Amino acid sequence: MTALYPLFADLDGRPVLIVGGGAVAERKTRALLNCGAAVRVGAPRLTRTLRAWAAEGRLTHLAEPYHDGWLKSAWLVIAATDDRALNARVKAAADARRILANVVDDPELSSFQVPAIVDRAPLTIAISSGGAAPVLARRLRERMEALFDPALGALARLAGDHRAAIRTACPDHGARRRFYDWLHDGPVLAFLRAGDEAQARQTLLARLDEAAAEPPPASRLSWIDPCPADPGQITLQQLRLLNEADVLLHDAQVNEAVLSLARRDADRHLLDADAWKDPGTLQDKILARCAGHGNTVALISQPA
């Protein structure tokens, strides 16, 4: 099965075509309208809700039999009919125009998949099995709904409102990461959970004033040695160290699958074998180079 590239698309004001007018098309339309897309629904008959949305001007109804001209100017196409031949025709027309198309419940025909969603707007968590096991993805979404605090959406909006101020008070990446860690783990989320947005905002601004005046903390060095070759054998402590690291220093034996567990924005550096012969000198050199930056550095070594 081909690996899919995950992305989030800005469809605000952009034309999206849905072919089909049943319950599935209604669900797809609802999600697209929530994203601000200019939805056109092509089908001779629509559900009651789709008819109401068309009457309200929220979507455009194409009532004539399908023709390829419907795809003109479309950014995305969703085929949601129970006629596989028609769905295949829609997909072929989309391919010819280099338009991404999703055929509902038919991953073999689709050029993009619609994931299961955990919605904490503006925070969105997408889960996909690449079409291999959509029921499994939905079950995972149900579990994640219970794991993620409903107040996370309000926290993301608050952080977005003060993004420029956060960048000013915390000019380097490490400082910003520490601030966002505090934002998630500190009192702001508790105030939002209680519905006290004013106190949450006041607390955030007070912490920003403190952060702007603070010197960077001392750099910290963590060793993951020996590192397991199998990422499934990584301990919780080792995973935490990987996720905290701003800089990864590793030898050539470390499995790429292990390194992929670290933060994607962490800087990676491969150290040659000679560097590991004197751990004390290596540690001193690293801390001297990172002085004044407040970096968290992970040294990762795997036995040959």
Q: Is residue 6 part of a domain?
A: no
Check whether residue 253 and residue 188 sit in a common domain.
no
Check whether residue 107 and residue 132 sit in a common domain.
no
* Confidence (pLDDT) at 268: 87
Q: Is residue 142 part of a domain?
A: yes
The residue with tokens 């503006």 is: 122
In CATH, what number is assigned to the domain containing residue 274? Answer: 3.40.1010.10
Check whether residue 22 and residue 56 sit in a common domain.
yes
In CATH, what number is assigned to the domain containing residue 132? Answer: 3.30.160
Segment among 19-28, 38-47, 289-298 with least mean pLDDT = 289-298
Check whether residue 100 and residue 89 sit in a common domain.
yes
Is it true that the peptide bond before 226 is cis, omega within 30 degrees of 0? yes
- Residue 91 DSSP SS3: helix
Q: In a 10 Å sphere around its CB, with 0-12 CB exposed, 13-18 middle and 19+ buried, how is residue 204 labelled?
A: buried
- Residue 228 DSSP SS3: coil
Check whether residue 91 and residue 141 sit in a common domain.
no
Name the CA radius of gyration of the chain, rounded. 25
d(CA 40, CA 76): 11
pTM of the model: 0.70
d(CA 298, CA 172): 19
Q: Residue 64: left if φ>0, alpha if ψ -120 to 50, beta else—which one?
A: beta
Number of domains in the chain: 4
Check whether residue 47 and residue 133 sit in a common domain.
no
Which residues are identified as catalytic?
251, 277
Please give the residue range of the domain that contains residue 265: 220-300
Q: Is residue 107 part of a domain?
A: yes
Looking only at the bridges linking them, the beta strands covering 100-103 and 38-42 are unpaired
What's the whole-number mean pLDDT along residues 271-286? Answer: 73
Check whether residue 94 and residue 169 sit in a common domain.
no
pLDDT tens sequence across 124-174: 999 988 878 888 888 999 999 988 899 999 999 999 999 999 999 988 877
